[in-house]
Each structure stands twice: as C-alpha cells, then as structure tokens.
Amino acid sequence: MNNTYLKQALGAIRDGIKTLASFGSALLDAGGMIVGVRHSKEPDYQLLSTDGNIQIRLYPAILTAETLIDADYAASGSLGFKRLAGFIFGENHSAQQMAMTVPVSRQAVDKQWLMSFVMPAAQTLETLPKPINPDIAIKEIPARKVAVLSYSGSLTLDSITHNSELLLNWLDSRQIQAVSEPRSAAYDPPWTLPQFRRNEIHIDIA
C-alpha cells in the first residue's frame, strides 16, 4: 500500500468519524427535546412567591418580536411560528441569524392571535436587525410582575382556556389585580412528548 492511498484512507476514516459524531450529537439533542431537555435561553426573572404550580415572578424589561395572525388557534401556531422563525433565522435587513429563545407566547386578540418571540438578552433596539416582513413588529416590554401557572400536556385551546380560568380564580381569591389578558407560554417543540412539556399561563399583575 503506497503512502498516498494510506493517507486517503485515513482521511476518509477521520471524515466518517466526524460525521458520525455530528449525527450522534444531533440525535442526542433531538432525543433530549422529545423528553423535555431544553437548551434555549429564557429571560432571567426573580421568583417572588410559589403556591403549588403557581408562581409570582418579576421579569426584567425585554424586547419581543410579535405578529398578529388572522386565523383560528390551530392554524395560527404554524403560521405565526414560521413568520417569526424566519425573522430570527435571517429574514431581516441585516441577514443576521439569532438564537432561538423561549417561551413562545400566544394571546387572543379579538378573533385573531398574537404570537411573540423573546429576543436574545444581548440585543437592544439599536442592535436588533429590522424585520423584512411588515407583519412583524418589535416591541419594548417594560419590567413587569407576572402570575404564572405551570402545567404539562398538550397545548390545546381547551387546556389554555381551562388553566387561564384557574389562574384568574386564584388571583381573584387573593384579591390580586390582573392587568392583562391571559397568554400561553410554550417552552418545547411540538414533538416533545406531552407529559414532558412545560406549558404556562402568564397574566401581568399590579
């Protein structure tokens, strides 16, 4: 066997090992997401109190990208996510890609649905790329106190409605004033097994 052939063979083996390693890493990541292992960043918050599956949190000021979808709940998920994901993955005037963050929030607005992504903490209004799609708006959200109810399972309209009512009743029983409508907050991709999903209902409070 000559040296040239040996070098080519060794190079092919090394490339194969790298490919297998990358594939294995991707499988581990995907497998982790199936059972609720999360890698996406979420906003830092201060935990003020806990009562079972309900928490009061103090969130810092954040930037969000949001879009209003004129569709029913089922259709609004894929339409809104595709639109906002396109923005953070390069469909902006700087062709800049940004990391995915959580949660993905959705809120009913009349007969439409408002979906929002949290922007990476390092971004500011000055550094954040401008969306190409005119249906995407960048919003500054001031620091706020939020009541949060956590639950697992499928993020259906029925589950959102039911858990929103539970959280509103909890606030009412403690004479805590709600200052926003309930919104859902999702932390996992749709292929995560329902029992491992982290779903939340958020309501801003006084």
Name the phi and psi angles at 111, rounded to 5: -105, 20
> pLDDT, tens digit, for every residue of 23-46?
343 333 444 445 445 578 999 999
At 3, is the pLDDT very low, low, confident or very high (cuts 50, 70, 90)? low
Beta-bridge partner residues of 184: 106, 201
* Residue 188 in tokens: 């996992």
| Residue 4 reports pLDDT greater than 90 | no
Separation CA 152–CA 186 (nearest Å)? 10
Report the pLDDT value the prediction gives residue 73, as an integer from 0 to 100: 97
> pLDDT, tens digit, for every residue of 117-128?
999 999 999 999
CA geometry: angle 14, 19, 22, nearest 5 deg: 125
| Residue 79 reports pLDDT greater than 70 | yes
Predicted TM-score (pTM) of the model is: 0.82
What is the layout of strands, in order, in the sheet containing 183-186?
Answer: 46-51, 54-59, 144-151, 199-205, 183-186, 104-109, 112-118, 62-69, 136-141
Distances (CA, A) of 48 to 45, 68, 176, 184: 9, 31, 14, 20
| Residue 200 reports pLDDT greater than 80 | yes
Beta-bridge partner residues of 47: 57
Calculate mean pLDDT across residues 79-101.
97
Report the pLDDT value the prediction gives residue 18, as an integer from 0 to 100: 45
- Decide the pairing of beta strands 199-205 and 144-151: antiparallel
Report the pLDDT value the prediction gives residue 6, as an integer from 0 to 100: 53
Tell me the H-state helices in the chain: 3-34, 73-88, 157-173
Whether 69 and 112 have beta carbons less than 8 Å apart is answered as: yes
At 92, is the pLDDT very low, low, confident or very high (cuts 50, 70, 90)? very high
Whether 61 and 138 have beta carbons less than 8 Å apart is answered as: no
Indicate the average pLDDT of the chain: 88
Q: Structural domain boundaries of the chain? A: 1-34, 41-61+143-206, 62-141
Separation CA 131–CA 109 (nearest Å)? 22
Provide the CATH topology of domain 62-141: Multidrug-efflux Transporter 1 Regulator Bmrr; Chain A (3.20.80)
> pLDDT, tens digit, for every residue of 139-172?
999 999 999 999 999 999 999 999 999 999 999 9
